């Protein structure tokens, strides 16, 4: 589809010496790697610092913090990230098409190839008929599809997602997860969630984030590709274990 | 406007006239204290020319005051929304200016810029300026932080964020400010006319009152109420079109 597809072919090492707000230390000696072209899920309770971690990776925290990010291709990470939040973040006054092309609008780009790609992506997420609708007329699942198309049009190597499915009902959630897994297949994806099922279903690599200051714990790798079947026994047993671990923390 | 709404408004209007007539008939109050609706209607008819002339003056004051007040308020809020320094220094001045009653300012304005239109337009502008500025600034500041975060990751400049995200997000608040402005603009204009003027409905009312032409005074009051109501509803309609995406209508 895209003439120049920035598929992820580099790993990203993230290392945090320390990060604190006031006297509260959030992270300490915190190291992990995002593998090229894989989904990494970070599971943690609310308030453990998941969103702060994402803010740090996207470079939106105070520069005073000791956050070091190294990409294996030696280029800086800045400008190579696409973001999806807990809310769909669609602008209510723009149509579906205008929301998908928001990045171009914000950067004042008028690239015919990207416009063609936008239509193709809207088609792929199944919203061709809704191009001219405003978000108010869409369901929650449809809005999340628009947000996905917007993210994909940005065509970045790393996709960061902050609980992107949390506002959806369980059936829609599973359906949207499948769509995301398919469409973001070749990307390096980091997503944080408080839902162990979601983390297990979508993570090639799964980390549990807990404690204060927070630390990461790697969960044993599950077999098979993503999205994993929810009836998978291995997944189900890990689900129970993770719930217990999160409760004890 | 639907037919039902129109019927409702006409019904309310007729009921008020009926109650008024009943009060006049039952109390047999002197016509120079409270004239009957019929007398007011006659006064309206007899003084058509003079009422028209003064209405045009007051209407111009209201509209020009609205345009100036909305324009000035818009730019002040934009400036304060964009530069934090401007907000820190200008906001106290705006608030203090609001603490001085318009009634107290009126004689000074008349003294400085004369008996003509200008002092009344200034009055209307001053009275409108604050609600517009406060409402728009509030809207600009309360823009969804996540939305701004997404725009930053997409590489938007701060001007692009204001133009494409903050300003449209603030439009519902701005619209509320403009509605309040439209409701209070006639107050500014009429107060100005009472303090010192050579024309306008306020001027006409004052003179009719002094000459005990209470029926003419009521006729002028009726026209004033009509102008104020029409202005308000036109502005309200305009604002609803401006924020077509917002369900708060």
Residue with token string 């973040």: A89
Please say if the pLDDT value at position A2 is more than 50.
no
Shortest Cα–Cα distance, B150 to chain A (Å): 6
The shortest CB-CB distance from B146 to any of A79, A89, A136 is to A89
Q: How far is CA B16 from CA B22, B23, B31, B115, in A?
A: 10, 11, 18, 36
Asked if B147 lies within 8 A of A91 by C-beta distance, the reply is: yes
The model's pTM: 0.85
What spatial distance separates the first Cα and last Cα of chain B, rounded to whole Å?
Answer: 13
| pLDDT averages per 10-residue partition of chain B, 249 residues | 85 93 90 90 93 96 96 94 90 84 86 90 91 94 93 94 95 95 92 89 93 92 93 93 76
Question: If phi over 0 gives left and psi between -120 and 50 gives alpha, with beta otherwise, what is residue B156?
Answer: beta
For chain A, give every domain's residue range.
90-155
- How does pLDDT run across A176-205, given as a tens digit for each residue? 999 999 999 888 999 999 999 999 999 999
Residue from A235, A239, A216 nearest A227 by CA: A235
Cβ–Cβ gap B245/A136 under 8 Å: yes
A51 vs B contacts (CB less than 8 Å): none
CB B118 within 8 A of CB B58: no
Give dist(CA B22, CA B35) in Å, integer: 12
Q: Where are the domains of chain B?
A: 37-242
The full DSSP string for chain B is --HHHHHHHHHHHHHHHHHHHHHHHHHT--TTTS--HHHHHHHHHHTHHHHHHHHHHHHHHHHHHHHHHHHHHHHHHHHHHH-HHHHHHHHHHHHHHHHS-HHHHHHHHHHHH-SSHHHHHHHHHHHHHHHHHHHHHHHHHTS-HHHHHHHHHTT--HHHHIIIIIHHHHHHHHHHHHHHHHHHHHHHHHHHHHHS-SSSHHHHHHHHHHTT-HHHHHHHHHHHHHHHHHHHHHHHHHHHHHTTT----
How high is the pLDDT of residue B62?
95
The answer to whether residue A108 neighbours chain B at the CB level (below 8 Å) is yes
Contacting A with CB below 8 Å, chain B residues are: 144, 146-147, 149-156, 160-161, 164-165, 168-169, 171, 243-247
The region that residue A157 occupies, defined by phi over 0 for left and psi between -120 and 50 for alpha, beta otherwise, is: alpha
DSSP for B161-182, please give it.
HIIIIIHHHHHHHHHHHHHHHH
B191 within 8 A of B123, measured Cβ to Cβ: yes
Residue A249: its pLDDT value, please? 76
Confidence band, pLDDT 50/70/90 cuts, at residue A3 = very low
What's A143-208 look like in SS3?
Answer: HHHHHHHHHHHHCCCEEEEECCCCCCCHHHHHHHHHHHHHHCCCCEEEEEECCHHHHHHHCCEEEE
DSSP string, A22-55: TTEEEEEEEEEEEPTT-EEEEEE-TTSSHHHHHH
User: Between these two residues, A49 and A143, which has the higher pLDDT value?
Assistant: A143
The Cα–Cα gap between B130 and B127 comes to 7
β-partners of residue A162 are A192
Q: Is residue A130 pLDDT above 80, yes or no?
A: yes
Residue of B154, B164, B245 with shortest CB distance to A92: B245
A147 part of contact set with chain B, CB < 8 Å: no
CA distances from B209 to B101, B115, B214, B221 (A): 25, 20, 6, 11
d(CA A53, CA B141): 25
Separation in Å, CA of A124 to nearest CA in chain B: 22
With an 8 Å Cβ cutoff, is A212 touching chain B? no
- Residue A22 is predicted with a pLDDT of 66
Q: How far is CA B146 from the centre of its chain?
A: 35
- What per-residue confidence (pLDDT) applies to A8? 60
User: How confident is the model over A133-176, as pLDDT tens digits?
Assistant: 999 999 999 999 999 999 999 989 899 999 989 888 999 899 99
Banded pLDDT at A62 (limits 50, 70, 90): low
Asked if A107 lies within 8 A of B245 by C-beta distance, the reply is no
Distance of residue B233 Cα from the nearest chain A Cα, in angstroms: 23
A78 with A59: CB under 8 angstroms?
A: yes
pLDDT of residue A21: 67
Calpha distance B65→B110 (Å, rounded): 15
First and final C-alpha spacing in chain A: 45
| Helix residue spans in A60-135 (DSSP H) | 96-100, 102-107, 112-124
| Collapsed DSSP state (helix, strand, coil) of residue A235 | helix
Give the number of C-alpha atoms closer than 13 A to the C-alpha of residue A20, restricted to the C-beta side. 10
Contact B245 A93 (CB under 8 A): yes
The ipTM assigned to this model is 0.89
Å between A87 CA and nearest CA of chain B: 8
For the stretch A80-99, pLDDT in tens is 899 999 899 999 999 999 99
What is the distance between the alpha carbons of residues B182 and B204, in angstroms, rounded to a whole number? 22
- For the beta sheet containing A12-21, the strands, ordered from the edge strand earlier in sequence to the opposite edge, are A24-34, A12-21, A66-71
The alpha-carbon radius of gyration of chain B (Å, integer) is 22
Domain covering B37-242, topology: MetI-like fold (1.10.3720)
H/E element, A81: strand A81-84
Q: Locate A5 and state its tokens.
A: 């597809």
The per-residue pLDDT for B77 is 94
Closest Cα in chain B, distance from residue A233 (Å): 37
Measured in whole angstroms, the distance separating CA A143 from the mean position of its chain's CA atoms is 16
Whether A56 contacts A68, CB under 8 Å: no
Six-digit token pair at A191? 């997503």
Say which DSSP state A222 is in.
P
Q: Note whether A106 contacts B153, CB cutoff 8 Å.
A: no
SS3 A110: coil
Chain B CB within 8 Å of residue A92 CB: yes
Residues in chain A: 249
């Amino acid at each position: 589809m895209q003439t120049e597809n920035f598929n992820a072919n580099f790993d990203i090492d993230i290392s945090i010496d320390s990060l604190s707000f006031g006297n509260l230390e959030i992270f300490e000696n915190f190291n992990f790697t995002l593998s090229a072209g894989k989904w990494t899920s970070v599971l943690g309770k609310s308030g453990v610092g998941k969103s702060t971690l994402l803010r740090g990776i996207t470079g939106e925290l105070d520069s005073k913090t000791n956050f070091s990010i190294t990409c294996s291709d030696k280029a800086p990470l800045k400008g190579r990230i696409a973001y999806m939040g807990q809310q769909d973040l669609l602008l209510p006054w723009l149509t579906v098409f205008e929301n998908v092309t928001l990045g171009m609008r914000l950067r004042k780009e008028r690239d015919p190839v990207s416009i063609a790609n936008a239509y193709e992506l809207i088609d792929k997420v199944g919203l061709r008929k809704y191009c001219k609708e405003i978000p108010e007329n869409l369901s929650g699942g449809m809005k999340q599809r628009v947000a996905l198309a917007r993210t994909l049009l940005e065509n970045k190597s790393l996709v960061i997602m902050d609980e992107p499915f949390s506002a959806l009902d369980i059936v829609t959630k599973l359906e949207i997860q499948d769509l995301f897994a398919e469409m973001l297949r070749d990307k390096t994806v980091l997503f944080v969630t408080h839902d162990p099922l979601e983390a297990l279903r979508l993570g090639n690599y799964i980390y549990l984030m807990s404690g204060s200051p927070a630390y990461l714990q790697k969960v044993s790798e599950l077999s098979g590709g993503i999205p994993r079947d929810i009836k998978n026994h291995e997944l189900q047993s890990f689900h129970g274990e993770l719930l217990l671990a999160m409760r004890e923390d | 406007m639907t037919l039902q709404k129109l019927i409702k408004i006409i019904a309310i209007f007729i009921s008020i006239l009926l109650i008024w007539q009943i009060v006049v008939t039952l109390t047999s109050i002197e016509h120079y204290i409270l004239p009957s609706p019929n007398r007011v209607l006659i006064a309206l008819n007899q003084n058509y020319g003079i009422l028209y002339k003064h209405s045009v003056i007051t209407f111009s004051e209201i509209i020009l005051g609205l345009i100036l007040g909305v324009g000035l308020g818009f730019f002040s809020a934009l400036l304060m929304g964009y530069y934090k320094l401007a907000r820190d220094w200008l906001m106290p001045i705006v608030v203090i200016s609001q603490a001085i009653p318009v009634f107290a300012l009126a004689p000074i304005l008349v003294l400085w810029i004369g008996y003509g239109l200008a002092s009344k337009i200034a009055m209307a502008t001053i009275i409108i300026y604050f609600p517009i500025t406060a409402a728009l600034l509030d809207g600009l500041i309360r823009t969804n932080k996540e939305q701004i975060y997404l725009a930053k990751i997409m590489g938007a400049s701060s001007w692009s964020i204001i133009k494409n995200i903050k300003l449209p997000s603030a439009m519902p608040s701005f619209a509320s400010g403009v509605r309040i402005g439209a409701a209070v603009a006639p107050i500014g204009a009429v107060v100005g006319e009472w303090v010192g003027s050579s024309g306008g409905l306020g001027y006409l009312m004052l003179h009719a009152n002094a000459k005990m032409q209470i029926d003419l005074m009521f006729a002028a009051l009726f026209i004033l109420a009509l102008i104020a109501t029409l202005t308000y509803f036109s502005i309200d309609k305009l604002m609803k079109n401006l924020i077509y995406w917002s369900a708060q209508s």
